Chains A and B, each alone.
Chain A
């Protein structure tokens, strides 16, 4: 307890940030439905905001930073990432058209 971000209580700052980012997320989708934002841009916005919110919750609320045991617990949390990357790899190579559409730098 007693952790701060920019001199303010870390939990309060994180909470406000999450609320604002969620509002931006919903607003961006509304703009996209009305045609004000193109599809590629909305994907970029959603992925970026999702990643920031993910890190905010993991690091601040779940104490994966700022605590004595944060490092080892972060490594524990990251352990499944190996398997997740493996799954994504298989998604990539089993997606229809993937063998024909690989960029040149991927080929032997």
Chain B
């Protein structure tokens, strides 16, 4: 039997095959029967990479393992640092440290499984939401927004706590202005709680050095951090825009996306480093001198801080800082923990970009991460003036 295959006919067959392949790749396969599930080995294991050529993934152990790890980590971490009997200092309880490490290891294992499965994802079978009111919106996008709703509640609780205490606790400066007397005329006793905002140490009259003339040295880390987060929000946007560009060579596109995500990661690292310097280390670089909040005595255990305030010469009162310091550290620490979480995600995404994992058809992961990252930036936009400047 002879087959007449001209060059034109061969091209036609290849074109038809390619079109069919493209359609097949973009169309989710029909739900398989239970019998198929038992015999279908195309979906890959719940532990490893999915076979995306044969359908959407069905299962993954990653979320349950990560939840389990986070539970172990948080319970054991909370028991590692406990209060002493007088409730005025923290005791390090090393016996829980192994469990902290176990929890951390389980979290890392869950992340590895998740990333191993995601690394092969090339943008096909992006599931859509079916339920009202989110029909036809990518389900991962809806999931991210629902997650951010809960995050808003967390930060709202912290902010309302701050507002409540700030409005309900008399300012130490006011008490000092009244010569150790509350506004209602009652005398102030040493060790009483009053409000000393963190800005007193960071951007207030307590600031020791003014190298820049314009603002105190102690404000430098917070100011740099604010700019760093805004720039990092922009670099995520640039990574997304670049990943969607079709006019670039795939290699060049991957390199640029990796660089933008890597820059975001570097800025996030800078943010946390400066926060550590501001809290614990302080800095003494060239003309810039700023002690840490720790060395200034702004701690959650300080019940007798010598508050000299502004405009009173040698006059001072001994105040309890626990309330104002706790509010500051919990709010900014929670925000810092979110930055750290973002850094973990960014590390993986930078690696995936390096491997060429993002393309115009597969850029939504950057968009969804970007929504989270912008939210972290957005919270800082409120934290910075509320805690650092006012």
User: Are A62 and B374 also in contact (CB < 8 A) when A46-B385, A95-B167 are?
Assistant: yes
List of A residues within 8 angstroms of B141 by Cβ: 69, 73
* B:340-390 near A, CB below 8 Å: 367, 370-371, 374-375, 377-378, 381-382, 384-386, 389-390
For A43, the chain B residues whose CB sits under 8 A away are: 390
Docked Cα-Cα span, A63 to B168, in Å, equals: 37
Chain B interface residue count, CB cutoff 8 Å, equals 52
Binary B-proximity of A17-54 (CB < 8 A = 1, otherwise 0): 01100100111011001000000001100110110011
Are A83 and B168 closer than 8 Å at their CB atoms? no
Q: Is the CB of B385 within 8 A of A61?
A: no
Given contacts A33-B205, A87-B157, contact A49 B378 (CB under 8 A): no
* Distance between A89 CB and nearest chain B CB, rounded to angstroms: 10
Q: Are B378 and A73 interface neighbours, CB within 8 A? A: no
Mark A64-105 against chain B: 1 for CB-CB distance below 8 A, else 0.
000001001101110110011001100100111000000000
By the criterion CB–CB under 8 Å, are A57 and B374 in contact?
Answer: yes
Using A30-B219, A53-B381, A57-B381 as known contacts, list a sample of 18 further A-B pairs with CB atoms less than 8 Å apart, ordered by residue number in A.
Answer: A15-B237, A19-B230, A19-B231, A25-B226, A26-B226, A29-B390, A30-B203, A33-B207, A57-B374, A62-B370, A62-B378, A69-B141, A76-B146, A77-B152, A80-B153, A88-B160, A91-B163, A95-B164
29 contacts between A and B (CB under 8 A): A1-B244, A15-B234, A18-B230, A19-B227, A26-B215, A27-B215, A29-B215, A29-B389, A30-B215, A30-B219, A33-B205, A33-B215, A43-B390, A46-B390, A50-B381, A57-B233, A57-B374, A58-B374, A62-B375, A69-B141, A73-B137, A73-B145, A80-B156, A84-B160, A88-B160, A88-B163, A91-B164, A91-B167, A95-B167
